[in-house]
Amino acid sequence: MKKKNLMKDTGILARPGKTIRVADFDPAFKGSIDSKEEGIRLLSENVNELIELQDKLYADNRYAVLLIFQAMDAAGKDGTIKHVMSGLNPQGCEVYSFKTPSSTELDHDYIWRTYKCLPERGRFGIFNRSYYEEVLVVKVHPEYLLAQNLPGIRNTEAIDEKFWQTRYDQINNLEQHLVENGTIVLKFFLNVSKDEQKKRFLERIDDSSKNWKFSSADVKERQHWDEYMQAYSDMLTATSTEHAPWYVIPADRKWFMRYAVSNIIINRLKELKPEYPVLPEAEKNRLNEARELLMNE
């Protein structure tokens, strides 16, 4: 049975070709799900279904799946990846978290460090942050670009809207290339509200078991909230495409966020119709011969 189409029913899909404003999406939305308990139960069912779909994807070996997660701090990227992908076979799934670029990474183009981590056919690749940081945090802090030693960029005054549009175009071209060669690209912006982020930051400060999650730098970045919302709106507008759309996931209720992400992944995988390979007759005959040898031992 096909899962509920959350993209159409809730406006989660950032529609390609439209101007997108983060403010138009409700971070507390929970759809028609009545309770947290129901959401957790539905997620559990989805995880079991995802296990079977992953097994078929791996055996079919025709498509790769790239999941990209972007969000403000404390939105729940780590927890969503953990809960949604909890049952997957580690052999067919890898998670990459991209932090501040190293000196070696800065000596390459901005996509280099992520490109070499792309998933093989039959496998899931999960990016916890990605090359999209280059049109988000770097757009809010354009001075970071100076460390990249880009031609023609010797000061922040040289960075104009054309520069950012070029980066959007480069990203769109990359993703179109990936899709045309068998990689399914699913992109999730976990949309947490400013009030909910504050609540989660305070929990990290007040709960000693969560202190390790807190960084004073997160509070400093929070001071740029409006700039980040504009950067996200610009990014969603420019890079939500037919071949690689963005999904704006309500993140104030973690249980709904995880369920919504799992639903979207399952619906997309079902469209691929992965199946276990059917052996040719010659191979089937060899299986029968092997069975006979084993039974006669």
**Is CATH 3.90.340.10 what the domain over 6-295 is classified as, yes or no?**
no
At 3 the pLDDT is: 54
Q: What angle do CA 192, 198, 203 make, to 5 degrees?
A: 110
| Whole-angstrom distance, CA of residue 184 vs CA of residue 236 | 18
Query: 1: pLDDT confidence band, cut at 50, 70 and 90?
Result: very low
What one-letter code names the amino acid at 44?
S
At 153 the pLDDT is: 95
Tokens describing residue 4:
């509920």
At 86 the pLDDT is: 85
Q: Are strands 64-71 and 246-250 parallel, antiparallel or unpaired?
A: unpaired
At 108 the pLDDT is: 96
Is the pLDDT at 2 greater than 50? The verdict is no
Q: Per residue in 5-16, pLDDT tens?
A: 554 444 589 999
Q: Per residue in 83-140, pLDDT tens?
A: 999 888 888 899 999 999 999 999 999 999 999 999 999 999 999 999 999 999 999 9
Taking a C-beta distance cutoff of 8 angstroms, is the pair 12, 259 a contact? no
pTM: 0.92
Q: Per residue in 13-62, pLDDT tens?
A: 999 999 999 999 999 999 888 899 999 999 999 999 999 999 999 999 99
Count of alpha carbons within 13 Å of 226, Cβ hemisphere only?
0
Q: Per residue in 217-267, pLDDT tens?
A: 888 999 999 999 999 999 999 999 999 999 999 999 999 999 999 999 999
Give the Å distances, CA to CA, from 229 to 69, 162, 194, 233, 243. 16, 20, 10, 6, 24
Give the Å distances, CA to CA, from 280 to 62, 129, 234, 274, 291. 18, 43, 51, 18, 17
DSSP 8: H
| Whole-angstrom distance, CA of residue 106 vs CA of residue 76 | 28
Query: 288: pLDDT confidence band, cut at 50, 70 and 90?
Result: confident
Helices within 36-111 (DSSP H only): 36-60, 77-84, 103-106
